[in-house]
């Protein structure tokens, strides 16, 4: 299935691997009976061993809501955001106390970092978060990151901690992203439906896999949580960061991951042409607030000639957005091919769409820019 063996791939990345982001899913940390302390203790033991070897570690941990349910003796999952926020407020204390207690057995100290989507969508706060995490690593601490569920509202949410882990890995320019869940990796077919399904050891082209998932192909195990993990791995790959997806339910999985002679989960090879930091931030940190549809000539100019988007190529405007906001760029068939920061509001674009740049000032009464989206603010997907 691949021209690169997992052993070759792991030897290559582990040789220079110093900074690692480890995402631990709620399925690993909890069960219907509550938080699985024994499982956490096993993972912490292996993490402490890696830290002792000189690895810089950041743990992205789910489980606050599950921990809150355990603390309050609840069996049913919360149905509303306020209920979820309340349980997260209770559970986050218990979860961090557990991490603190487990790591202290190995003379390791942890630090709590809670983030919302707004923290990483705002460029200044993004850089502040980067500097804080960097300082914690410089102090030989192990940051434990989670979404700030106690204040996050629907439009601010990362959607899942898979996405958050990819953003944190990119933020810190990590050498490896490890995603631990209840799945052993990515399969060629849905193993729940086909006993002959095989685990894919190495994925060299994550975009191909992502396309199959987007098309709801039955040829890949693409239902539920694995789809978000593939999406997160694609984000990391765009920043030049390799990802390894494995089962956190397997005892000693972290030791297997860092042993180049052992097979473990699915490795995703990063892209050779990594996105610059600012363009990666535009593509993956910002939530698009609208859409614009452009003609074939504009697509050709943007994709193959590296030009900026001008009003003459604009055909339709969807949504309400202001100057400087992120929008999705669609072709005439409705396929997204780029994202970018607009120089004009949706209302202004409605007035100047299809026009030559020389007509902008006459229609609007002023001209801030010739371009709708400058090529420096445009990311091809």
Q: Mean pLDDT across the stretch 83-111?
A: 92
In a domain, 58, yes or no: yes
CATH of the domain at 69: 3.40.1160.10
211, 301: one domain: no
239 and 131, same domain (yes or no): yes
Q: How far apart are CA 172 and CA 160, in angstroms?
A: 19
**What does the pLDDT read at residue 214?**
45
Place of tokens 């949580």: 225
- Residue 302 covered by a domain: yes
pLDDT in tens, 59-86: 999 888 888 888 888 877 777 888 888 8
* Percent of the chain whose predicted confidence (pLDDT) is above 90: 52
Instruction: Write down the pLDDT at residue 153.
Output: 59
pLDDT digits (tens, 9 = 90+) for 252-275: 999 999 998 888 999 998 887 777
- pTM for the model stands at 0.79
Please answer whether residues 309 and 344 qualify as being in contact, where contact means their C-beta atoms are separated by less than 8 angstroms.
no
Residue with the larger pLDDT of the pair 238 and 271: 238
Task: From 199, 210, 137, 248, select the one nearest 6 (Cα to Cα).
Answer: 199
pLDDT > 90? residue 180: yes
**Domains: count for the chain:** 2
The predicted structure's pLDDT at residue 205: 83
For residue 363, pLDDT over 80 is answered with: yes
User: Given this model, what pLDDT does residue 172 score?
Assistant: 93
Strands (E), the chain: 19-24, 30-31, 34-35, 56-61, 110-115, 142-147, 176-181, 202-203, 243-247, 266-268, 290-294, 314-319, 326-330, 336-341, 378-380
218, 248, 279 - which closes a domain: 279
Which of 107 and 153 is assigned the larger pLDDT? 107
Rounded average pLDDT over 209-229: 55
Does 162 lie in the same domain as 34?
A: yes
- Tell me which of 308 and 65 has the higher pLDDT: 308
Mean pLDDT over residues 237-255, rounded?
92
Q: Which of 279, 314, 340 is the last residue of a domain?
A: 279
Binned at pLDDT 50, 70 and 90, residue 195 comes out as confident
149 and 191 fall within a common domain:
yes
Mean per-residue pLDDT for 2-29? 86
Share of the chain above pLDDT 70, in %: 92
| 165 and 29 belong to one structural domain | yes
Q: How far apart are CA 44 and CA 113, in angstroms?
A: 18
CA distance 373 to 298: 12
Residue 1 counted as domain residue: no
> What pLDDT score was predicted for residue 152?
62
Who has greater pLDDT, 227 or 353?
Answer: 353
For residue 344, give its domain range: 288-380
Q: β-strand 290-294 against 202-203: which pairing, if any?
A: unpaired
Residue 85, in any domain of the structure: yes
DSSP state of 187: B
Query: What integer pLDDT is reported at residue 105 of this predicted model?
Result: 96
Same domain flag for 249 and 310: no
Assess whether 90 and 175 both reside in one domain: yes
Position 160 scores a pLDDT of 66
Q: Which of 231, 255, 279 delimits the end of a domain?
A: 279
Q: Is residue 299 part of a domain?
A: yes
pLDDT of residue 148: 81
Regarding whether 92 and 60 lie in a shared domain, the answer is yes
Mean pLDDT computed over every residue of the chain = 87
Given its phi and psi angles, is residue 56 left (phi above 0), alpha (psi -120 to 50 degrees) or beta? beta
The pLDDT value recorded for residue 192 is 73
Q: Among positive and negative, which fits the CA dihedral 181, 187, 190, 194?
A: negative
Tell me whether residue 128 is in a domain: yes
In this predicted structure, the answer to whether residue 220 has a pLDDT above a threshold of 50 is: no
Q: Are residues 248 and 304 in the same domain?
A: no
At 143-159, the pLDDT tens digits run 999 988 766 655 445 55
**Shared-domain flag, residues 11 and 79:** yes
105 & 35 share domain:
yes
């Amino acid at each position: 299935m691949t021209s690169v063996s997992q052993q070759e791939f792991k030897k290559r990345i582990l040789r220079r691997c110093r900074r690692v982001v480890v995402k631990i899913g709620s399925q690993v940390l909890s069960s219907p009976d509550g938080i699985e302390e024994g499982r956490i203790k096993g993972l912490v033991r292996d993490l402490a061993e890696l830290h002792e070897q000189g690895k810089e570690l950041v743990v992205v941990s789910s489980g606050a809501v599950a921990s809150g349910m355990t603390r309050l003796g609840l069996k049913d999952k919360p149905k509303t955001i306020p209920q979820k926020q309340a349980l997260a407020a209770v559970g986050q204390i218990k979860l961090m106390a557990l991490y603190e207690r487990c790591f202290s057995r190995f003379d390791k100290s942890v630090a709590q970092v809670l983030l919302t989507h707004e923290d990483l969508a705002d460029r200044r706060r993004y850089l502040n978060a980067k500097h804080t995490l960097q300082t914690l690593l410089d102090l030989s601490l192990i940051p434990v990151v989670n979404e700030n569920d106690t204040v996050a509202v629907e439009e601010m949410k990362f959607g899942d901690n898979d996405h958050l882990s990819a953003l944190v890995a990119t933020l810190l320019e990590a050498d490896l992203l490890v995603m631990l869940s209840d799945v052993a990796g990515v399969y060629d077919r849905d193993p729940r439906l086909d006993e002959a399904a095989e685990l894919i050891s190495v994925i060299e082209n994550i975009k191909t896999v992502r396309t199959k998932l987007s098309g709801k192909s039955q040829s890949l195990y693409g239902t539920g949580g694995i789809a978000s993990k593939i999406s997160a791995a694609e984000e990391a790959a765009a920043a030049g960061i390799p990802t390894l997806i494995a089962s956190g339910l397997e005892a000693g999985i972290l030791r297997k991951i860092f042993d180049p002679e052992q097979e473990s989960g699915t490795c995703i090879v990063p892209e050779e042409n990594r996105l610059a930091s600012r363009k990666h931030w535009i593509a993956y940190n910002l939530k698009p607030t609208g859409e614009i549809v452009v003609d074939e000539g504009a697509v050709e100019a943007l994709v193959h000639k590296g030009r900026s988007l001008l009003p003459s190529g604009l055909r339709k405007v969807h949504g309400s957005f202001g100057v400087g906001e992120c929008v999705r760029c669609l072709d005439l068939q409705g396929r997204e091919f780029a994202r970018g920061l607009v120089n004009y509001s949706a209302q202004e674009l409605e007035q100047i769409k299809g026009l030559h740049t020389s007509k902008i000032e006459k229609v609007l009464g002023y001209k801030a820019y010739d371009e709708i989206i400058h090529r420096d603010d445009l990311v091809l997907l």
